[in-house]
Every structure is written in structure tokens, then in C-alpha cells.
Amino acid sequence: MTEAFPGEQHKRVHASKTPGFLERLSASTGGVIAGVCLFTLSFYVLFTNEGRALRTASSLDEGLNQVVSLHPDVMLDPQNHGRLVHLSGPLRTAQPLYDPNYGVSVQAVKLQRRVEMYQWVEYSSSRDYEENGEKKTETTYSYNAEWRSEVVSSRHFDQEVGHMNPSAMAVESVTVVAPDVWVGRLFLSAGLVEQITDFHTLSLQGLPVPVTNAFLTVYDDYFYHTANPRRPEVGDVRVRFAYAGLSGDGVYPGPAHKVSVVAMQEGDQLKPFRTRSGDVLEILYMGHLSAEEVFAREQQMNSVKTWGLRLAGWALMFLGISLSTRIIHTLVDWVPVLRELVSLGLKIFALCVSCSLSLLTIAAGWIFYRPLLGGAIALLAFLPVLIAHARAPSKKHQ
């Protein structure tokens, strides 16, 4: 093991000839190709997003109209077989999850072992400047020892000597999932169990953990594979445990977590429910929520996702237009004043065109996926023109 001394740094300067006009033109041509690809992709993202948003909203409305709320303690009704149901209640599992290597046990849906290793991490910052007709790049490298959950390869460090990391961790991270999870009298599907991701750190304070290894120390909710956790060395490992979905009635670490579920009842199982719109409803939220609250949250998430994809589509279009028109800037970049004016003009052009085309694409998606609503909006848009055209003969007659 190597003792870490953070704050070490050094500089390295790379010199290269200033690229000529043909080289810059060639690079701009490659940017045009990439820009056209991004520009085309933006239309696909913007157009299909409207259909996805409508399909999801319709599926949620359909589910809200059909859902049947169940009480977790009531006997199962065979008439609900194949129907969309909603219930809220505490999580239940058959037995605690156990890690034999550290003697940790907790009654939960998931138990996660998170492993970190003390390693060297390289940071770099660069600045470009010109000197004696050459383009130079000065890069400053610094090294710091940190706890990381992934192995940091030191082979690609600028200065590997004195900053070598182990190639693998002595202990692996792992997540254990309970085989059977149920709420009330219904067992959760694998898709519902996957949605239980609200992990909490397992506190080791007051937990009887047998530690027989002299190089294994419990400190600040971590298992340290070192005798002195306050002065770690490169290669040292520490382990922390986290749980998601408490399912026991014990005092430690707390009572069972409550969840609200919407899915299809099939016997004593909860399965995915496919709507007429083509979407699948298999929803789980932590906490006690009514069916209306569950679907309201899903509608809100659908709205946020819709606007997020609209913004992403516009960004792709703006970037595509900027890359496609970069070649114009290359043709005049040897004239200082003209170069700045052209650069500003191209940015304004890309902004205006991307905004206009994005709105037109979204409108086209509305018309394609919502023809009645889109047609009504189109009629409203042409209403002033029709009114002006209808009044034209009377003015001509006067």
C-alpha cells in the first residue's frame, strides 16, 4: 500500500502548428455532416415525443377510470382477476436479508453492500495560447487520494510513477433482493420490486456486529479494512450497507415502509396492466397515496418528461444548425472584425431557426396525433384571414 500525499501537481506544455485554412475547412466539413445528423435527429425527437405524451396521458386516464381500490387486509375477490387494482400498505418479506461476510442482517426488500477503495485520482485543466507562431496547450495535472466506488485506472495517468492504483477491489459491491415481496395479500411483480430504490444507509451504531479480524474496524457506519481508518492508504477498502423497503415489525432499523401500488391482479399476484393505448401500467410509490394521487403524480411526471424532451429536441436542432453553418465562419475567420460579426449572426440565425422549426415540428405532431384539436387550432389561426377575406367584397362595393 502507498500512503497518499494529496495536492501534488505538475505542468506539461504541448506545442502544435496553427492549423492552416484547408485543415480548418476540412474540420468544418466534418462538423457539417455531424450537424446534419443532429438536425435530422431533432425532428424525430420532437415529433415522436408528442405521440408518446398523448399515448401516456390516454393510458393514465384509462387506468384512472378502471382502477379498483382494495383494502390490504380484505380477502381477495375473484371478480378482480385481470382488473387494474390499487392498494396501499406495509411491505412484507419472508425472512431477513443477511451478509455473512460482515454479519449484517436487516428485514428489507433490498440490502446493498457498497464498497469504496482509497485511490489516486488525476485532475487536469488546460489553457491554449499562441507563442512564436505556434499554438500551445498548457495542461496542469494534479493528484489527490479519494474514496471511489469504481476502480480508477492509473495506466492513463500522465505521471503514473508514485500514483499507482490497484487493478481490482478486494471486496465486490452487491445488492441482494428478497425473493418474495407482498403487500396485503398480493405479491409484487419483479417490475414493481425494481421500483423500490429509496435506499437508506444502515446505521451501525448500537448494532451488534461481530468483528474478529484485526484489520477490520467499524467506524462512522463503515467497515474499514485497515487498522487506522483515520489515516487510510491507497488500496484500503471500506464497506457501507444500505437498505430499501423495510418489511419487518422490529424496532431496528424501523417499522415497515408503506407503499402504494397500481397494477393488474392475477390471482394473488400483481402483474403489468396493458391499456388499449398500448402502454403498460405498473406503478409503485413509497408512502400512502390514494389512486387519484398516484395517477396525478404520473400525469405530472409525463408533463415534465414531455417538456424535457421538447427542450432536448430544440437543443439538438440548435447544435445541428450551429455545426452546419460553422463552415461559413471558417471562410471569413482570417478577417478579425468580420469574423466576430459573422459569428454573432450565425448564433442569432441558429437560435431563430431552431425555435421556429421546433415549434412547427411540435405543431405538426399535434396535428398528426391529435387531428381534431390540431384542426381546430389551425382554423383559429386562419380565422383572421377568413374574416378579412369575407369583408373585402363589401369594402370594394363601397
Domain match, 202 and 274 both: yes
Number of domains making up the chain: 2
Given a cut of 60, whether residue 357 has pLDDT beyond it is yes
Q: Which of 48-57, 230-239, 371-380 has the lowest mean pLDDT?
A: 371-380
Residues near 66 by Cβ (< 8 Å), separated by ≥ 6?
Answer: 83, 84
Domain match, 36 and 119 both: no
User: What pLDDT band is residue 120 in, cutting at 50, 70 and 90?
Assistant: very high
Confidence (pLDDT) at 145: 93
Domain match, 223 and 366 both: no
* SS3 track for the chain: CECCCCCEEEEEEEEEECCCHHHHHHHHHHHHHHHHHHHHHHHHHHHHHHHHHHHHHHHHHHHHHHCEECCCCCCCCHHHCCCEEEEEEEEEECCCEEECCCCEEECEEEEEEEEEEEEEEEEEEEEEEEECCEEEEEEEEEEEEEEECCCCCCCCCCCCCCCCCCCCCCCCCEEEECCCEEECCEECCHHHHHCCCCEEECCCCCCCCCCCCCCCEEECCEEECCCCCCCCCECCEEEEEEEEEECCCCCCCCCCCEEEEEEEEECCEEECEECCCCCEECEEEECCCCHHHHHHHHHHHHHHHHHHHHHHHHHHHHHHHHHHCHHHHHHHCCCHHHHHHHHHHHHHHHHHHHHHHHHHHHHHHHHHHCHHHHHHHHHHHHHHHHHHHHHHHHHHHC
Given a cut of 80, whether residue 347 has pLDDT beyond it is yes
pLDDT in tens, 180-222: 999 999 999 999 999 999 999 998 876 666 555 666 888 888 9
Given a cut of 90, whether residue 114 has pLDDT beyond it is yes
Domain match, 164 and 223 both: yes
End position of a domain, from candidates 235, 264, 289: 289
Q: Which of 215-224, 238-247, 305-314 has the lowest mean pLDDT?
A: 215-224
Domain match, 209 and 121 both: yes
Given a cut of 70, whether residue 17 has pLDDT beyond it is no
What is the model's pTM?
A: 0.80
Domain match, 228 and 250 both: yes
In a domain, residue 62? The reply is no
In a domain, residue 8? The reply is no
In a domain, residue 10? The reply is no
In a domain, residue 1? The reply is no
Domain match, 271 and 376 both: no
Given a cut of 50, whether residue 396 has pLDDT beyond it is no
Q: Which of 23-32, 92-101, 261-270, 273-282 has the lowest mean pLDDT?
A: 23-32
Burial (CB < 10 A; 0-12, 13-18, 19+), residue 178, is: buried
Domain match, 28 and 83 both: no
Domain match, 280 and 363 both: no
Residue 109 backbone zone (phi > 0: left; psi -120 to 50: alpha; other: beta): alpha
Most confident option among 152-156, 304-308, 367-371: 304-308
Quote the domain boundaries for residue 86: 68-289
Given a cut of 80, whether residue 316 has pLDDT beyond it is yes
In a domain, residue 298? The reply is no
User: What pLDDT band is residue 341 in, cutting at 50, 70 and 90?
Assistant: confident
Q: How far apart are the C-alpha atoms of 375 and 382, rounded to whole Å?
A: 11
pLDDT in tens, 28-63: 677 788 888 999 999 999 999 999 999 999 999 999
pLDDT in tens, 93-103: 999 999 988 88
Confidence (pLDDT) at 35: 86
Given a cut of 80, whether residue 395 has pLDDT beyond it is no
Tell me if the bond preceding 253 is cis, omega within 30° of 0: yes
Buried/exposed code over 121-142 (b: 16+ C-beta within 10 A; e: otherwise)? bbeeeeeeeeeeeeeeeeeebe
User: What pLDDT band is residue 252 in, cutting at 50, 70 and 90?
Assistant: confident
pLDDT in tens, 325-335: 877 766 666 56
Q: Which of 18-22, 229-233, 296-300 has the lowest mean pLDDT?
A: 18-22
Confidence (pLDDT) at 8: 66
In a domain, residue 349? The reply is yes
Cell output for 80: 378482480
End position of a domain, from candidates 254, 289, 324: 289
Q: How far apart are the C-alpha atoms of 342 and 337, rounded to whole Å?
A: 9
Q: Which of 101-110, 237-246, 380-389 has the lowest mean pLDDT?
A: 380-389
Q: How far apart are the C-alpha atoms of 367 and 361, rounded to whole Å?
A: 10
Q: What is the mean pLDDT of the chain?
A: 85
Confidence (pLDDT) at 398: 46
Q: Select the more confidently predicted residue: 7 or 286.
A: 286
In a domain, residue 323? The reply is yes
Buried/exposed code over 144-154 (b: 16+ C-beta within 10 A; e: otherwise)? bbeeeeeebeb
Domain match, 118 and 233 both: yes
User: What pLDDT band is residue 13 in, cutting at 50, 70 and 90?
Assistant: low
pLDDT in tens, 132-176: 767 778 888 999 999 999 999 999 898 888 899 999 998 999 999
In a domain, residue 9? The reply is no
Q: Which of 135-139, 226-230, 337-341 has the lowest mean pLDDT?
A: 337-341
Domain match, 231 and 310 both: no
Domain match, 146 and 256 both: yes
User: What are the two backbone dihedrals, phi and then psi, of residue 86, each rounded to the nearest 5 degrees?
Assistant: -135, 135
Measured between its terminal Cα atoms, the distance across the chain in Å is 99
Given a cut of 90, whether residue 359 has pLDDT beyond it is no
End position of a domain, from candidates 289, 324, 359: 289
Q: How far apart are the C-alpha atoms of 283 and 280, rounded to whole Å?
A: 9
Given a cut of 70, whether residue 378 has pLDDT beyond it is no
Residues near 397 by Cβ (< 8 Å), separated by ≥ 6?
Answer: none
